[in-house]
Amino acid sequence: MNTIVSLLSIMFFPVGISLILSGMLYEWADRKLVARFQNRIGPRWFQPLADTIKLLSKEEIKPHSVNNLLFYGLPIVALSGALTAALYTPILGFAPTYSFQGDLIVALYLLSLLTMCTGLAGWNGASRFSLIGATRSLTQLFAYEAPFLLALLGPAMAAGTWTIKDISVYAENHWMFIAQPVGFVVALIGLMGKLELPPFDAPEAETEIVAGALTEYSGRGLALFHIGKSVELVVAISLVTAFYLGGVGNPLIFLLKTLIILLFMAMLQSMLTRLRIDQTVGMWWRFGALLALLQILVIILLKGWLA
Amino acid sequence: MNVSQNYVSQLMGRITTWARVNSPWAIHFNSGSCNGCDIEILATLTPRYDIERFGIKLRGSPRHADVLICTGPVTRQARERLLRTYEQMPDPKFVVAVGSCGISGGVFQGCYNIVGHINEVLPVDAFIPGCPPRPEAIIDGIVKLLTHLQNGTRPEPIQFAPQETA
């Protein structure tokens, strides 16, 4: 009986289908908000679902010179990485399913797995566009990863623990958004870099390099990468909300907070133009990493002073 | 057993048709037109007409696309590229010819460097007449293609009146 319950909970509730569906709804909300900012009507609510089903039902073409194992395995690894990261995150305001000391680092690296898989898939794609896209997405990974990690370390250090569950419980009474505004801004922009949203969409710039690393993917592989990206959107937004905007608490209020973050992200997406890859890297290391380090330094000093 | 399997496959077919009708991703190919139709296609993609309402998205890669929107007559040089782009698209795929030149060769008909209209090279599913067609006409043509796809029928073939000889 217990096995059945845990199987069902893995398949449906915290992870699995409900997570994928909520990822699609978040993606729709993002696209709709961008559309409204551009003064158009935008897609219908079931649009990401229709896209995914259509891609899953389409033919999958394998290019001649790719490695079979990598070509078919990478989309699955990418999606499973994002889904596993959800186990340690307070999705939709519910407490994380599993937690252990130091799961913050594990969750962050599971989230990066999608980008690494995209890079490998692009390198494996044997097309010049996918190769350039892969190089760019891996370069960008090195740019935003450290500042994003540092920005999430701020709340962890303030709470004095490395467990996501404990940090979100601590954050319920201490609004990090007010206590650490610099870290919040870095985390918010790091989120956009992680999801390769404009202005950080140089890895999939459709006006320069067709579709980036996923140029050669069609059908099922492309659908799995899309699902992985929308799951990552939910997980990363939940993580930032739980850390900076007052922990988990009420699921409905948590949902509203994630939507506010999404609104800000959509606003930035429609306001800013695409940065060149060297500008992205320069911005992250010159400002992002330094600001996050400054934030951490202030926390360390304050903790030492208060103690 | 057999009946239930049949029912399931019918249901799956209906779901995939629904998804296909609601999310046609397009790729645009100019096989030798004067650019008039291409400007109108780009105008169709602007926020003014907003075809993301129907789920239509312009994709860069033929591997992601479902609908190949072609313009212009097919020149001898573009023929191979057009065929290659078509063959790179995964099944099921559809072709829409935009403009008079795509339908009949237009003013370029009979030129030394022209293979002919698009239907001589690819199986075209929908023709959108006009020189160039307005964005509304292009949206109408694609929506007609989608409704026929939903009903499982092919669009009616165009009957040309026989030319009168003077």
pLDDT at residue B165, rounded to an integer:
55
Domain count for chain A: 1
CATH number of the domain to which B80 belongs: 3.40.50.12280
Radius of gyration of chain B (CA): 17
pLDDT class for B2, splitting at 50, 70, 90?
low
Lowest model confidence (mean pLDDT) among A93-102, A133-142, B3-12, B132-141: A93-102
**In a domain? residue B110:** yes
**In a domain? residue B7:** no
**In a domain? residue B16:** no
* pLDDT surpasses 80 at B109: yes
**In a domain? residue B4:** no
| Cβ B135 vs Cβ B43: under 8 Å | yes
pLDDT in tens, chain A (307 residues): 567 766 666 665 556 787 888 888 888 999 899 899 988 888 888 889 998 988 888 888 888 888 888 888 888 898 888 888 888 888 776 767 777 787 888 888 888 888 888 888 888 877 888 888 888 888 888 888 888 888 888 888 888 788 887 787 777 777 777 777 888 888 888 888 888 888 888 777 777 787 778 888 888 888 998 898 888 888 888 888 888 887 777 778 888 888 888 998 899 888 888 888 888 888 888 888 888 888 888 888 888 887 7
Question: Could you list the residue range(s) of the whole structural domain that residue B58 is in?
Answer: 23-147
Residue B24 one-letter amino acid: P
Contact state of B47 with A38 under an 8 Å Cβ cutoff: yes
**In a domain? residue B28:** yes
- State the pTM of this model: 0.85
Contact state of B90 with A219 under an 8 Å Cβ cutoff: yes
Question: Could you list the residue range(s) of the whole structural domain that residue A293 is in?
Answer: 2-306
Higher pLDDT, B106 or A76: A76
**In a domain? residue B12:** no
**In a domain? residue B54:** yes
With tokens 């290391």, the residue in question is A285
* pLDDT surpasses 80 at B155: no
**In a domain? residue B18:** no
Nearest CA in chain A to B53: A43
**B77 Cα to chain A: minimum distance (Å):** 22
pLDDT at residue A240, rounded to an integer:
86
pLDDT class for B106, splitting at 50, 70, 90?
confident
Q: Which string of DSSP letters, residue by residue, matches chain A?
A: -HHHHHHHHHHTSSSHHHHHHHHHHHHHHHHHHHHHHTTS----TTHHHHHHHHHHTS--PPPTTS-HHHHHHHHHHHHHHHHHHHHTS-GGGSPPS---TTHHHHHHHHHHHHHHHHHHHHHHT-SHHHHHHHHHHHHHHHHHHHHHHHHHHHHHHHHT---HHHHHHHHHHS-HHHH-HHHHHHHHHHHHHHTT-TTS-GGG-TTTSTTGGGTT--THHHHHHHHHHHHHHHHHHHHHHHHHTT-SS-HHHHHHHHHHHHHHHHHHHHHSPPPPHHHHHHHIIIIIHHHHHHHHHHHHHHHHHH-
Q: Which helix (H) or strand (E) holds B41?
A: helix B36-44
Q: Are strands B94-98 and B25-30 parallel, antiparallel or unpaired?
A: unpaired
What does each C-alpha distance from A123 to A120, A207, B25 come to in angstroms? 5, 20, 25
Top residue of B52, B139, B149, B150 to mutate, by most chain A CBs within 10 Å, is: B52
Domain count for chain B: 1
A218 lies within 8 A of chain B by CB = yes
| pLDDT tens per residue across span B56-95 | 888 888 888 888 999 988 898 888 889 888 888 888 888 8
